[in-house]
DNA sequence: ACGGATTTTTAGACTAGCTTAAAAATTAAT
DNA sequence: ATTAATTTTTAAGCTAGTCTAAAAATCCGT
């Protein structure tokens, strides 16, 4: 059975290749895992006969289907635990990640299937990210960046791109969360900032950096 | 922060000293943790400056108050997770231990307090063992071995001494669980076996080895 | 209180995972 | 196309935790 560290490496490679399209390079993995490039090379060499990924010296690394399956199951576990923490234990969306990072390593298939059922087979986690089902399939959604809306358009917040704690807490303060109704009152061409009605309250101004990181579903 | 292995050692020492009264010896710890006596000695030496226990060569080991506190918190976490698994996820009492053994190592004080509240501050785990509160206090109970009952006496099952899977599954088969009502119909002096009515069904015969391991609360 | 059995410790060695420093390979710029 | 910058790998060594085999200490029966 894979160790916690092995799981961390596989998940890191998965996240990096998913984001960058193409092989994950040593430095990126080191940065993601807060370790040194030398450690990564070392680990890749030691793990490369376990069939989780293809590794070629100086060429980076990409997952095999076995590796992808393992990473997907980790993501599934992580996100289901996040739902549990948020929905059942009342944690806020910026608090769930760190604890789920630990919980995702608990070994028991039965546990995760029972947890899934207990939570009512949720399709999305507290940040709006899709939860793969037991077969590894993600349920995709027709979503847009809030920054792409034009003056007068309405939407419902369905997710966030950035998961940084400060960002999420800022959204809390603005009373923006999943399900929040927003309406674009004005768009400032100069800096792409937006004047926004949040749940029909008086309008607030949001920077481009913020609106780019909020996903919405368009509303008639 | 203590590693998982450190936590395992502390808990082992706690369990052994609790059971045996007096210092825990090397062999007992080795057996409990499925490792070698040499590894235990080694670990005790390496951990002995962390103030969790007193260790004297050839004399065994006993916990300091710091060590006891840590062990108690581990027991609290373990048993709360067991309640979660049994009550919320519908695991049977013989299945919860192994998973809780992993879950007890998750690091987050908030998590455990929220879990406790979510479960309604339970006082006992699925085997009837008391759950220490946040301050480490156990709620004791006036209980007796089923083997101590005389002919005609009634009781309610409140716990088990033995946690072995086969034993617990045998009890499942007999339809004996926490809360089950039992009535002693007859006691056989020769082998101390007992004829028992379970939830007022027709009587079954239970060996001394079994009745010794069932705790009951006496019933008028 | 002696000898044998048992328990515990020491010694030496192994693996997983990590580190820093230096060497080698690749990439990018003129 | 050569040099310079960057990235990656190698080398050597560290810690936590494990093991086996052998030595030392303790315990126990007579």
> Which nucleotides of strand D lie under 7 Å from a protein CB?
7-12, 16-22, 25-26
Contact B123, B137 (CB under 8 A): no
How many CB atoms neighbour CB B82 within 10 A?
27
Give the 3-state secondary structure of residue A126.
coil
Q: What is the pLDDT of residues B164-210, one digit of tens each?
A: 999 999 999 999 999 999 999 999 999 999 999 999 998 999 999 99
Q: Is residue B94 part of a domain?
A: no
The overall average pLDDT reported for chain A is: 97
Rounded Cα distance, A94 and A168, in Å: 6
Rounded to a whole number, what is the distance in Å from the CA of B4 to chain A's nearest CA? 12
Of A63, A78, A108, which one is at a domain's C-terminal end?
A63
Q: What is the pLDDT of residues A161-214, one digit of tens each?
A: 999 999 999 999 999 999 999 999 999 999 999 999 999 998 999 999 999 999
Q: What is the pLDDT of residues A80-120, one digit of tens each?
A: 999 999 999 999 999 999 999 999 999 999 999 999 999 99
| B220 — pLDDT class (breaks 50, 70, 90) | confident
So what's the ipTM on this one?
0.94
Q: Is residue B131 part of a domain?
A: no
Rounded Cα distance, B77 and B131, in Å: 9
Give the DSSP H or E segment for B45.
helix B37-47
Q: Is residue A51 part of a domain?
A: yes
DSSP string, B70-101: HHHHHHHHHHHHHHIIIIIS---TTTHHHHHH
> A180: which residues sit within 8 A by CB, 6+ positions away?
A156, A157, A198, A199
Report which of residues A202 and A126 the model is more confident about: A126
Q: Which residues from A are below 8 Å from B90, CB to CB? A: 114
| B24 — pLDDT class (breaks 50, 70, 90) | very high
Of B27, B45, B63, which one is at a domain's C-terminal end?
B63
The mean per-residue pLDDT over the stretch B115-136 comes to 98
Q: Is residue B53 part of a domain?
A: yes
CATH of the domain at B36: 1.10.10.10
Q: Is residue B78 part of a domain?
A: no
Q: Which residues from B are below 8 Å from A118, CB to CB? A: 88-89
The mean per-residue pLDDT over the stretch B2-29 comes to 95
The mean per-residue pLDDT over the stretch A39-60 comes to 95
| B141 — pLDDT class (breaks 50, 70, 90) | very high
Range of the domain at A206: 144-219
Rounded Cα distance, A105 and B102, in Å: 9
pLDDT at B219: 86
pLDDT at A5: 97
pLDDT at A13: 98
> For a pLDDT cut of 70, what percent of chain B falls above it?
100
CB-closest option in A99, A110, A114 to B111 = A99
Number of domains in chain B: 2
Query: Which residue of B5, B97, B108, B120 to mutate against A (max A Cβ within 10 Å)?
Result: B108
Q: Is residue A180 part of a domain?
A: yes
pLDDT at A21: 84
Rounded to a whole number, what is the distance in Å from the CA of A8 to chain B's nearest CA? 16
Query: How many Å separate Cα B79 from the centre of its chain?
Result: 9
pLDDT at B21: 84
Of B21, B37, B63, which one is at a domain's C-terminal end?
B63
Q: Is residue B46 part of a domain?
A: yes
Does residue B144 register a pLDDT over 90?
Answer: yes
pLDDT at A220: 77
Q: What is the pLDDT of residues B34-67, one digit of tens each?
A: 999 999 999 999 999 999 999 999 999 999 999 9
Closest C-alpha to A68, from A137, A161, A139, A4:
A137
Q: Is residue A90 part of a domain?
A: no
> A194: which residues sit within 8 A by CB, 6+ positions away?
A146, A147, A149, A184, A186, A187, A188, A205, A206, A208, A211
| B94 — pLDDT class (breaks 50, 70, 90) | very high
CA geometry: angle at A63 spanning A58 and A64, to 5°?
A: 120
């Amino acid at each position: 059975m894979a160790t916690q560290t092995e799981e961390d490496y596989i998940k890191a490679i998965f996240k990096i290749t998913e984001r960058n399209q193409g092989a994950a390079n040593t430095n990126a993995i080191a940065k993601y895992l807060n370790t040194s490039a030398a450690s990564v090379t070392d680990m890749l060499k030691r793990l490369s006969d376990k069939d989780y990924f293809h590794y070629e010296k100086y060429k980076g690394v990409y997952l095999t289907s076995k590796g992808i399956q393992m990473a997907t199951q980790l993501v599934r576990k992580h996100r289901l635990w996040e739902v549990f923490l948020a929905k059942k234990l009342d944690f806020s969306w910026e608090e769930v990640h760190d604890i789920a990072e630990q919980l995702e390593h608990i070994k028991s298939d039965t546990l995760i299937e029972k947890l899934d059922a207990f939570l009512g087979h949720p399709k999305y986690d507290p940040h709006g990210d899709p939860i793969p089902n037991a077969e590894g399939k993600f349920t995709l959604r027709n979503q847009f960046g809030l920054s792409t809306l034009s003056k007068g358009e309405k939407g419902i917040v369905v997710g966030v791109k950035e998961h940084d704690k400060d960002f999420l807490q800022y959204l809390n303060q603005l009373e923006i969360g999943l399900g929040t109704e927003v309406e674009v009152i004005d768009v400032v061409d100069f800096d792409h900032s937006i004047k926004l009605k949040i749940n029909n309250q008086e309008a607030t101004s949001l920077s481009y950096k913020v609106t780019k990181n909020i996903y919405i579903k368009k509303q008639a």
